[in-house]
């Protein structure tokens, strides 16, 4: 089907590596922490950041509040703890969007093969 983005993870292969690899929860934690670090590396040097680009850092409240949080085994969230994080991400009628989460998740998607390769190389 055209226009569909699909991620396929072969659970059988992951389970074969399970005894040698980190637990699935640790692997997902690693991805969440990678995402937090990536977001931190991509703030704009301007404040406010340009519309369509990441926000700039004025007080550091947003950047300091972003963290990985374990919701349950195998499920982690990356979230912020400020009221305006979503507003910056999507914009409003009076302010253009300055996305920071969606671009980071896209970079994560592109880097996942290399990230998993590093995890596997670390244990072999």
Residue ranges per structural domain of the chain: 20-123
State how far the Cα of 92 lies from the Cα of 84, in Å rounded to an integer.
Answer: 11
State how far the Cα of 65 lies from the Cα of 74, in Å rounded to an integer.
Answer: 22
Q: Are 122 and 52 in contact (CB under 8 A)?
A: no
pTM, entire model: 0.76
What does DSSP assign to residue 55?
P
Q: What percent of the chain has pLDDT over 70?
A: 78
Q: What percent of the chain has pLDDT over 90?
A: 61
State how far the Cα of 49 lies from the Cα of 64, in Å rounded to an integer.
Answer: 17
pLDDT value for 116: 78
92 versus 5: the higher-pLDDT residue is: 92
- Position 1 confidence tier, pLDDT thresholds 50, 70, 90: very low
Mean pLDDT value across the chain = 85
pLDDT value for 26: 83
81-120 pLDDT tens trace: 999 999 999 999 999 999 999 999 999 999 988 887 877 7
């Amino acid at each position: 089907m055209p226009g569909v983005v699909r991620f396929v993870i072969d659970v059988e292969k992951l389970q074969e590596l399970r005894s040698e690899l980190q637990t699935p929860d640790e692997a997902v934690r690693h991805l969440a922490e990678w995402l937090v670090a990536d977001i931190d590396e991509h703030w704009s040097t301007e404040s406010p950041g340009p519309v369509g680009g990441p926000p700039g850092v004025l007080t550091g409240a947003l950047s300091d509040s972003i963290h990985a949080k374990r919701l349950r085994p195998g499920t982690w969230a990356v979230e912020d703890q400020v009221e305006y994080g979503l507003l910056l991400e999507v914009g409003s009628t009076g302010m253009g969007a300055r996305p920071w989460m969606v671009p980071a998740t896209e970079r994560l998607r592109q880097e996942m093969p290399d990230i998993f390769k590093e995890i596997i190389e670390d244990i072999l």
